[in-house]
Each structure stands twice: as C-alpha cells, then as structure tokens.
Structure 1
Amino acid sequence: MGSCGQHASATPSEQKLPIISVNGVTIKEEVLANELQYHSNSDFDVVVQQAGQTLVIRQLLIEQAKQNGVDVTADNEEQGIGQLLADKVVYQEPSEEDCLRYFQNNREKFVTAPLLEVDHILLPASAEDEEAKEVARQNAENILVQLSQDISCFAELAKKYSACPSKETGGSLGQISSGQTVPEFEQQLMQHGEGLVEQPLASRYGFHVVNIARKVDGKQLDYNMVADKVKGYLVHRASRLAIQAYIHGLVEVAEIEGIEVGFAPELNIHL
C-alpha cells in the first residue's frame, strides 16, 4: 500500500474497470475500485493491474484456505490466509554456515554509521520556487568564496545569513549520525570528508554551506554482534521466496479471466 509517488491520473468513474474472475468467482467492481487507492502510478492501467493482481492472489489464498479446512470469513481473512501459509509453505531455515557466508560476502552492510560534527549556513528556498532556489544557490556560492579565503569567519557569516536556528551557535549542528537529518542532506554529507565542502548542498529547505569539523568513519561490526540480524534477514527472505513459489503454483493451475497475473523475481505481495 503506497503513499508516495504520483497517483493515477484517471479515476474508476472515468475509465471502465475489467471484469475479473478467479475459478468462476467474479471479483466485484466496487471491490476492485476500492483496492485502487492502495496502489500508486501515473499510468491508470498499471494501477488496475496491480490492484487486480492483489485481489486475484487474495481470492486464490482464501479459496485454498477453505479447501484445507481453515475457517475463513469476511472478518478474519487475514488470519485465515496467515494460517494457510503457515500450514502449507515450507522452507529450509538458514544454517550457521549460510549466515556466516552471507556476512562475509556482505561485510559493507554491517558497519556502524559515521559520526560527523557539522557546521552549516542555510540559504532558504522553497522546493517549488525555481527562481528562489537559483538565488539561494548563488548566495551560497558567494559565501563559499569568502570561506575558502578565511574559514575562521564561518560563525560570523552563519549568524548573518543562515535561516537555521543554529546560527546562534555559529551554525553548529553538533554531532550528526544516520537518521538525524533529512535523507537527501544526510546522503550528501556522508560522501564528504573533513573540511569545507566545496559546493552548496541542496535539500528540501534550500542550499547549505557546510563545514565538516570532524568525521569518524563507521567501524566494521563483528559477526557475533549481528548474527541474529543476519539470520532474521535470511529467514525472512527464504519465507518470502517460498510464499511466492506457493502462490505461483496456485496461479498456474487457476482459471483466471480479465487479467494476466505476472511475477517479478521479488514480487511484493500485498495481502
């Protein structure tokens, strides 16, 4: 169920929805129309495809649950589907060797976040105002020219020009680690070493003139510190793949009309 991205440009009332049936059971048009809200795409046909596939899979699982003696009603569909999958989907849990091998092949995923001491000057601009953004960028570049000649005036310039409350402390943001600032700003920060960043960094708030006073790189974690996390990830992955295979098997033998159900290698099953 996505909340980001662009929504379809058309609505069910503007375009005709397909009539979809699964093993002789027709999915009601109002059910399909309601499901559309949980899928986002600028192409209405893609939204209909995603919603229809979701409902086809749900219907197949409910059908299988009932055939296997699971009591499924409109009030407990999620519980019934969960019980079916627990009973029918079998997968091999990862061994200690599997977990260790994954860790050794993906060491870069298991490091502590870098720690930075950051000073900044914010030149504000609305993300939708291109003219204001250009003015802010030019002002930031002018400040960078001054700082490249004399970094000691950073606090003075922050107090004079910055739109951030940190201007009262010379532009200091203190220590920053992962998740402590907006993602687009953090991603850029982490790419730089200590010292004055040579170009303004853009964010949803405008442009930032940045000086990284200190940077402590992340440290490699030992396997025993992340063993449970590794196993949990591999168990989840094995479970998802097994569920996908089970559903794929149901789709292959089902009589489905009105839609083609396709499977990507990592199908995100919305139930």
Structure 2
Amino acid sequence: MTTTLIIDHRHKARHQPQMPSACGSGCGCASAKPVVQPPSHGRVAVNGVEIDGEAIAREIQHHPAADGDAAWQAAARALVVRELLLQTAQRAGLDARPERDSAGALETAEEALFRTLLDQALDPPKPGEAECRRYYEANLHRFRTPDLIEASHILFEPSSDDAEGWRSAELEARAIAAELGDDPADFGAAAREFSACPTAQQDGSLGQLRRGELVAEVQAALDTLAEGTTARTPVRSRFGWHVLRHQRTIPGRVLPFEMVAGKIADLLEARAWTTSAASYVLQLAGQAEIEGVVIDAAAMEKLA
C-alpha cells in the first residue's frame, strides 16, 4: 500500500463513479520513474516516534518530484500522516476487521484500521439535488456522448509485402476510386465485388464508430470527407489500400440530468469525503508534536 492511499480512503474509493465515456480524460501509461536518491535530512518523528530513514527512502518511489529534496519531503509527509492516523486509532482502541473491495481484494489490517477510524471521525455532508444540478450545468461536456461516424471502405490487400505487391494494390484502389461517384448503392456493389475485408458482405460498412477506433491514417482521411461522399483518392494503412466513404455523422448528445444524477452525487460525496479527511488530518497534526516536516493545507493538497 502506498501511504497516500490513506487520504483516498479505500472504503469510499470503491464507490467512485464511472462517468460516461464522453467525460474525456484520455488514458496514457506513464513510463517508469527513475529511483530518486534521498537527500540527507534530519530526524522525522510524530509525538516522539521516529520514522526510519529507510522507510522514507522506500516511500519516495510513490512521490515523483522535480528533485530529490521535494520527493523526500513528500514521502516523509505521507509517512507522518500514516503515523498520525495509526497513533490516533491505537489510542481509540479500535478493532477493525479487514473487508474486501469490489474487485475482491482484501484490505490489510492497517488499511482496515484507518478506514474504521475515518468512518467514525468523518461525517461529510451529503450533496443535495440543487448541488448536483449546479455541478451538472457547469460540466455539461462531461456528460456528452461521443460523436459517431458511419463509414464504409473497400480494402485492397497487397498480393505480396514487397514494393510491387503494394503498388499493384494501390493501382487497383485508385482505379475503383476514380470510377465511383457518391452513390451508396454503387459503393456497396463495388465493396461486395472487390473488397478483401469481411465487411464486403455488408457493402463495406464499418458500422458506427467513435473517434480513435480506426487506424490513424483511415481516421485522418475520413475527417476530410463530407457526409454522403466517397473519397476520390485511396489511403494506405498497414492493412492495405482503402477506398473510403463517409456515410453520415451522428452528433453526440448531452445525457439528461436524471440519467447521471446518481453518478454526480457519488462524485460530490467522494470529493466532500476527501476534503473532510484532509481537515481531520490537519486537526490531528495541530495537536501533535511533529518533527522534520510541516503538515499544512498545502501539504495535504499534495497528498490527496
């Protein structure tokens, strides 16, 4: 467990809402971060309990930063928060039973202890309908379904993977593209006769597609085609040469509030919980004797 998960609160995190696909932030995998060597720092302790330097060094991997000092400070703060919560839970004599999350993973004993402590200590306000509606109106773009494009193609595969094979496929594709107009029936007949793709049996139809579902070259070519038109020039991809048709675009629509109200409520509740947890930790820090790092509102924002 990385220590920053303390603030995320696993019990609440399992109820995080899944926004519609139009919410939009793209998925990108970050490359592995190089290990940051910890700088030399003084004693870090909470109420006299010292946090071992090796533990801070191990925690650094979870806190990428611009330099070693910033990474060390972030790791040390995270472990100070962990120790604060651990001491508070132990003083309260809490008995916590590990639970499984929605994926079936079992909490550690420590995670269960923190969850129990925070469940007892926090009572964030539940978002009402008015608050949910305000969020909805301010973030309509997050609740919009994606645009769809109905497209078709005629695929000419090269007979061999050498220059001659690709050149022959290109000449065939160009000849058909030059003959076709914008009539969909003519395009369908040509697809059934010439296309090497299984979609030939459906007049070359690729169905209704979202952006990103086609290879980049085909997507870029379709973006230049007006609705109801067939490309006069074929485009090459790793699969072969394509003669393309843009049948129509189906604009996305904003989902009605009633359809997403529950997801918005979950989102706002989780946000309120995180804010309450940060305030609670700040309160504990103000009552504790902390050495080596500063726990303030700015630090909590970095940990959350």
Q: Same fold (TM over 0.5)?
A: yes
Equivalent residue in structure 2 for 1:256, among 286, 290, 296? 290
Higher-Rg structure is: 2
CA-atom RMSD in angstroms: 5.1
Equivalent residue in structure 2 for 1:98, among 125, 128, 131? 131
For the residues of structure 2 that align with 1:245 and 1:151, how far apart are their CA atoms?
Answer: 70
> Which residue is equivalent to 1:130?
none
Does 1:44 find its partner at 2:68? yes
1:7 and 1:40 in contact (8 A); partners too: no
Q: Aligned runs of 1:45-194 on 2, under 5 Å?
A: 45-71=69-95, 76-117=109-150, 174-177=207-210, 181=213
> Which residue is equivalent to 1:244?
278
For the residues of structure 2 that align with 1:257 and 1:41, how far apart are their CA atoms?
Answer: 22
Question: Offset at 1:106?
Answer: 2.6
Percentage of pairs with the same residue: 30
Question: Offset at 1:243?
Answer: 0.8
Deviation digits for residues 177-216 of structure 1 (CA, Å, limit 9, x no counterpart):
37x649x99x999x9885799xxxxxxx9xxx99755321
Amino acid at match of 1:64: T
Structure 1 segments of 4+ aligned residues over 6 angstroms from their partners = 166-172
For the residues of structure 2 that align with 1:177 and 1:47, how far apart are their CA atoms?
Answer: 40
1:9 and 1:44 in contact (8 A); partners too: no
For the residues of structure 1 that align with 2:245 and 2:67, how far apart are their CA atoms?
Answer: 43
Amino acid at match of 1:78: E
For the residues of structure 2 that align with 1:94 and 1:105, how far apart are their CA atoms?
Answer: 16
Aligned residues: 237
Deviation digits for residues 208-227 of structure 1 (CA, Å, limit 9, x no counterpart):
x9975532111122221111
Cα distance 1:267–1:46, how it changes in 2: closer, same or farther (>3 A)? closer
Question: Offset at 1:62?
Answer: 0.8
Unpaired segments ≥5 residues, structure 2: 5-27, 98-107, 154-173, 182-189, 191-195, 232-237
Cα distance 1:188–1:85, how it changes in 2: closer, same or farther (>3 A)? farther
2:96 and 2:113 in contact (8 A); partners too: yes
2:50 is paired with a residue whose SS is strand
Task: Between 96-105 and 21-30, report the one with greater CA deviation.
Answer: 96-105
For the residues of structure 2 that align with 1:22 and 1:99, how far apart are their CA atoms?
Answer: 40
Equivalent residue in structure 2 for 1:25, among 24, 29, 49? 49
For the residues of structure 1 that align with 2:91 and 2:78, how far apart are their CA atoms?
Answer: 20
2:208 is paired with a residue whose SS is strand
Question: Offset at 1:60?
Answer: 0.7
For the residues of structure 2 that align with 1:152 and 1:17, how far apart are their CA atoms?
Answer: 73
Does 1:233 find its partner at 2:260? no
1:116 is paired with a residue whose SS is strand
2:44 and 2:51 in contact (8 A); partners too: yes
* TM-score using structure 1 length: 0.63
> Which residue is equivalent to 2:163?
none
2:94 and 2:117 in contact (8 A); partners too: yes
2:65 is paired with a residue whose SS is coil
Amino acid at match of 2:292: G
Deviation digits for residues 89-130 of structure 1 (CA, Å, limit 9, x no counterpart):
12111122222232233323222222123579xxxxxxxxxx
Cα distance 1:40–1:196, how it changes in 2: closer, same or farther (>3 A)? farther
Question: Offset at 1:86?
Answer: 0.3
> Which residue is equivalent to 1:133?
none
1:94 and 1:234 in contact (8 A); partners too: yes
Unpaired segments ≥5 residues, structure 1: 121-145, 157-165, 198-204
Amino acid at match of 1:252: G
2:150 and 2:207 in contact (8 A); partners too: yes
Question: Offset at 1:268?
Answer: 4.2
1:70 is paired with a residue whose SS is coil
* TM-score using structure 2 length: 0.57
